[in-house]
Structure formats: structure tokens, C-alpha cells
Structure 1
């Protein structure tokens, strides 16, 4: 497969921009902890099961509205595509469970750190696996961001496994989805269908427990659980669209928006203590973002002038 073109090449200027989709996805993910406050009484593992169950019908509804059943059938009857989507479905399921568990257990900063690590991993994956290249200014941004992450990690060794699991699971998920020849919506629909059987098994297991099922006993809680299908499908669809249209390294740096929102929520809504080391890492990461975005802006201006 040919290497991915750089995000700022003149040829890309004729393609639809993935920036609005990327911003939409990361803003939704950033505020996701507020939604999880509505379902804190649901065990994390059970909630992941219900999240998968309610994502599938929402995806099928959009497939019907957009008349994408031919694309769905084409992907289903392609063994290579199905194998890749099996891998991506496992990766995203792991990511969902660890993230939900971390937020519900009050490890908001650990979750935030995971998605601060992820853009650095995206840069590594983009350069090693996708043939992408970074300028010297972009590598400087990577180095500064890595310093900020290292500083934050030094004060969170006991929860670093949460951050690493989130970073690697979502980073590899994005790489797999970028290489799969299937649209964002059919791909997510198939991923949800692959996970449906184990999700139903999880829901059934909790229904047989002494505490009983979380869904169906309270109208408000049941509605909040059902809404997880929308909360899950919409940002993943936006992310898949952005991953197809943008350089993966650039997409990774835009992702700093989501953990920053989570970080601020941890400080304000969840009222977690902000130690000096965490504040220092926060500032270093945003200096890195400023360097990276400044370099992108400069290159984009030069590309437009040349075009």
C-alpha cells in the first residue's frame, strides 16, 4: 500500500478537509466524563456491554438513511476486511472498558494522560508504519510534548498502566481503521455486530446477579444507558472520517483537545488535586501543541501560495 501523503501537500487542498470531523470527535470525547456521571451506578463492564448493544441499532439506522447497505455487504463478504475489523473491534472494546472504569473509579488524570500519550504514539506509528514524515519543528514539538508526558507520568506510576492501555489500544485502532478499505459507518456497524454476542452475554450475566440488571428498572437510568449508542457512534464516525482524510500525525496532535478538556474537568467538576508536576506537564504539552500548529500553519500558507 502506498504511503500516506503529507497533510500539507498541495494535492490535499482539493480533498475534503477532515478538520471539522476531527474537532467534533475530540470535543465529544473530551466531555464524555460528564455523561458518565449519569451512569455511575452501572458497573463499568456491564455498561460497556450495553454501550455495544445500543450502538449497533443506531448505526443500522444511519446505514438505512444513507443507503449504505451495498458497502456493508461488500465489507462483510471480504475476508481480509472482516479480519481487520475483528482486530479493530477488540482494540476499541478494550479502550472503552479501561476508559469507563478509570473515570468511574475517579482516575480522571490517568485517563487524560492516556490520551496525551496517544498523539505521541500516533506520530511514532505514522512515521514507522505509514511512511509519514515530520519537519524539524514538528520533531521539536514531539520532544517537548514527550517531556511533558514524562513529567506527568513520573507522578502517576501506579496508574500508568491505565494511560498506556488507553494510548496503545486507541492508537492501534486508528492505524487499523486507516488501512481498511471500508467506509466509516459500515466499518463501525460491523465492529458493533462482531461485539454484539459477547455484549449480550455480559448483559445477561449481570441480569442474573443478585443486584439485577441496570437497564429496565429505572426510566431515567435506562434512557441514559440507551443514549450511549449515540455517544459512542457519533464521535467514532467523525474520527474515522478524519483518519481517512488527514495525515495521521497531524490528527494525533489535534487529539490533545480531548485530554485537555478531560484534564480541566478533573480539576473542576471532579475536584481532583492539581499538583505542581501536573501543572508543569500541562504547560509543556501546550507549548508543544503551539509549536506543531505554528509549523502546520506556516506550511499551509506556503502551499496555498504555491498552488
Structure 2
């Protein structure tokens, strides 16, 4: 679990910083950025699998199992949708709304964990959920309109987290499968943009184009870390660690992108961080109890 915790923390820090990365391509259409993100993610993963022993064979086996293929296809659609919404929002001045979206996601994760994975949060953990929910409600009211970006991001990534729990393949194999499924669509879209004279990526300055090529690594590495964390941590715990990402994004939206941040939002995020403290203390108490019980069982 400790190793999974570190994977989750590193992944969410990387995701929190991604708005700065995608904003450097704001001259491109969101769909074009997504297409290149998928293409170069697939290339990056293919290279990783090529140098790994037996991993290409595992990828082929994934595509021969109909049930597994359907699960991977579902996760591929979910994460691609999440990417598209996020890229569009960042490059159209909705960075705070993306932050709210990823604050909402843990609430979805707890709900999904209870409904589908039969996890049983303690009273303290339910209190944390209630505090976080109140914070999100205050933020939504202050935002002043239906937060479709926030809700779409939360729903797509929350269900993606659940689906990842259903796949037993190694993280690199699963991500390679996800990108492989949408790779033909991404290539077709880039070709379409070229023939309709709407393609802009190839006219980017050299440094920016190199950064676009590296979007595969920027995308794949956090997802690999996340997948490794998801395999080691309860979904509800994984969801609350996710607050690291939107907190970084929130700071970027205010201090880098100069979006409006009202005093009401400060109250909202204070409630959310109070929820984090309550949840962390509850989790530490549970860990100590479990460790004590295990020691007693061994001694007996």
C-alpha cells in the first residue's frame, strides 16, 4: 500500500501541472491536440512494450479475449473523452472548473466503491465525504452556472477508475491497449484535418512541435503511475489522494492564468481540505488498528 501511495502522489502532481503544458498549444483545435496526444502516447507505449520481455505477446493476448477487450475499449473511450474535455476547458479559460471537476471525482469514487466494490467507509470517512460535498456545492453555486465541464470530468474519470479495477493486466499493457484502440481514429482525424486545410500542428515552432511529440510521455507516465496505484489502493482512498491534482490546478488558475477567485471559493476549498484532514486521520487510525490485529494474530 505504501508503494501505491507514492505512485498516486506522483501521478496527481503531474496531472496538476498539465494545464501549463496544454496551454502552450492553445493555437490548435482541442480535437487536434487530442489526436496527437493519442498518437504519440501509442508510439511511446509501443516502444516501452518492444523493449520489455514478452509484453507484446501479452498485448496480443488482450485483443484475443473478447471480455477483456470490451473492458479495455470502455476504459479507452472514457479516458479519451476525459482528455478532450480537459484540453478544451484549459484552452478556453475554464481551468477553475476543471479543478472543481477533479474535486468532485472522489465523491464519485466513494459512491462507486460502495455500490460496485462493496467497500465500507467508516463514519469518519462519511463525514469527510459530507464536508467535501458541501465544499463542492458552495463552489458550484459561486460559479454561477451549470458546471458541465466539472461534472463531465468527474463522471468520466470516476468510471474510468472503476473500470481499471476490473482489468488484471499490467499497467503498461492496459494503457497500450487503450491507446491502440483509439489510435486509428486519431490518425484518421489528423488526415482529415490535413485534407481540409485545418491542420495547424505542423506549423508550430520547432520547440513547440517537439513538446507536442513528447505529449505521449507526458500522458503515459502519469497514467502508468495511476494504474499501479489503483492496483494497490482501495478506490475510496485513491479518490481522496486525487485532491493533490486539482489543488495544484487551482493555484495555477489563480496565479498563472489569472482566473477570478472569489472569497466564497476560499470557503469552499477550506471545507474540502477539512475533509482531507478528517479522511487522512481516519485512514491512519484504520491502518494502526489493522496492524495491531495482524500482530496479535501472529503472536497467537
Q: Calculate the TM-score normalised by the size of structure 1.
A: 0.92
Greater than 3 Å deviation, 4+ residue runs: 209-213
1:141 aligns with 2:128: yes
User: Aligned pair count?
Assistant: 293
Residue 40 of structure 2, aligned match among 47, 51, 54? 54
Q: Which residue matches 1:125? A: 112
Residues 17-166 of structure 1 aligned to structure 2 (within 5 Å): 17-67=3-53, 68-158=55-145, 160-166=147-153
Q: Is the 8 A contact 2:190 2:199 kept in 1?
A: no
Structure 1, unpaired ranges of 5+:
1-14
1:189 aligns with 2:176: yes
Tell me the distance in 1 between the aligned counterparts of 2:185 and 2:144: 32
Structure 2, unpaired ranges of 5+:
296-300
Q: Which residue matches 2:189? A: 202
Q: Is the 8 A contact 1:63 1:69 kept in 2?
A: yes
Aligned in 2, Cα 1:92/1:305: closer, same or farther, shift over 3 Å?
same
Tell me the distance in 2 between the aligned counterparts of 1:95 and 1:257: 18
Residue 65 of structure 1, CA deviation: 2.5
Tell me the distance in 2 between the aligned counterparts of 1:263 and 1:144: 19
1:294 aligns with 2:286: no
Aligned in 2, Cα 1:145/1:16: closer, same or farther, shift over 3 Å?
closer
Residue 215 of structure 1, CA deviation: 2.8
Residue 278 of structure 1, aligned match among 265, 275, 280? 265
Tell me the distance in 2 between the aligned counterparts of 1:217 and 1:169: 31
Q: In terms of mean alpha carbon deviation, does 180-189 or 24-33 score higher?
A: 180-189
Tell me the distance in 1 between the aligned counterparts of 2:149 and 2:204: 32
Residue 204 of structure 1, CA deviation: 1.4
Q: Is the 8 A contact 1:117 1:163 kept in 2?
A: yes
Q: Is the 8 A contact 2:15 2:245 kept in 1?
A: yes
Tell me the distance in 2 between the aligned counterparts of 1:77 and 1:90: 19
Tell me the distance in 2 between the aligned counterparts of 1:110 and 1:154: 12
Q: Is the 8 A contact 1:52 1:192 kept in 2?
A: yes
Cα offsets for 1:150-180 (capped at 9, x unmatched): 0001122535000000000011111111111
Tell me the distance in 2 between the aligned counterparts of 1:16 and 1:297: 12
Cα offsets for 1:176-221 (capped at 9, x unmatched): 1111122211111011111011101221122233444313653222
Tell me the distance in 2 between the aligned counterparts of 1:104 and 1:217: 16
Residue 19 of structure 1, CA deviation: 0.6
